[in-house]
Amino acid sequence: MLSVLVPIYNFDVVSFINDIYKQCEIANIEFEILCYDDCSSNVFKSKNNTLANRQKITYFELQKNIGRSKIRNLLAENAKFDNLLFVDCDSKTVSDFYIKNYLNTLTTYPVIYGGRSYESFPPSDPNLYLRWFYGIKREVKLATERTTEPYRNFMTNNFVIDKAIVLKIPFDESLDGYGYEDILFAQQLKKSNISIHHIDNSLVHVGLENTSEFLKRTANGMKNLAQIIRHNQVDEDIKIYRVYKKINRTKSKWIIKLIYALLKKYIRNNLKSNTPNLLYFDLFKLQHLMNEMKS
């Protein structure tokens, strides 16, 4: 009835998987949990490979890293059941009824997104603060708010989908590394008139990147966004794309470049502080997108 699909990369998933397993058993459903490791370091493999001893869990280690999109497609292809629950490995459940909440709407909608949440208190490590702060301010949204822009507010960290849809509209494997594979997937669903239903059934994102890694990943995300813009695969659902188009129309890009050049050091210092300004983060993203678009 339900295939839980977990792409793993450098994270200890044992506690999370045990929780999901227990909730599936309590719900008294047929289920399987596929855990595919995308060539993590040995320290994480040694922790997670204990899952291989459990019934209804398939733990598999890939010999080379194949990336976020390709591993999701592989998981979908190998799933036994038609209902697929994709979850990010660096998550934990909020509710003891997480699985049951999805089961209540399973047969009604082709795609169901449960949302993302964060711990209420900031991390003790200041190097993780920007990622937590960004998540709290930009990613935590109730279903009622997400529903107003259902495709823009979709992420791949926690959603249920019919297997036939993923096989027909697979994740784009041409995107390199981190960033915008979820937005591109949502755009493809939109073009195919496949609706996304939003519910309040979030997972907590516990695998916070440090600020340097987060900025590096964000810059790579702008590279991916530039690629899908050039291929006409994105529309103005994406706020930064709307801003970029407006800047191009008004021929004011030189002003943005000048401001960023003058403030670059200050911006980076601010984003690494415990009082980051997300407008500076937006400027960081815009500058990288403009660079990738060669404009």
Kindly report the CATH number that applies to the domain delimited by 2-207.
Answer: 3.90.550.10
Three-class SS state of 290: helix
pLDDT tens per residue across all 295 residues of the chain: 999 999 999 999 999 999 999 999 999 999 999 999 999 999 999 999 999 989 999 999 999 999 999 999 999 999 999 999 999 999 999 999 999 999 999 888 999 999 999 999 999 999 999 999 999 999 999 999 999 999 999 999 999 999 999 999 999 988 777 778 898 999 999 999 999 999 999 999 999 999 999 999 999 999 999 998 888 888 777 889 889 888 888 777 788 889 899 999 999 999 999 999 999 999 999 999 999 887 5
Strands of the sheet with 111-113, listed across from one edge: 57-61, 31-37, 2-8, 83-87, 158-162, 111-113, 197-198
Residue 252 burial by Cβ neighbours in a 10 Å radius (0-12, 13-18, 19+): exposed
Nearest to 214 by CA among 254, 268, 160: 268
pTM (two decimals): 0.94
Name the residue ranges covered by the structural domains of the chain: 2-207, 216-292
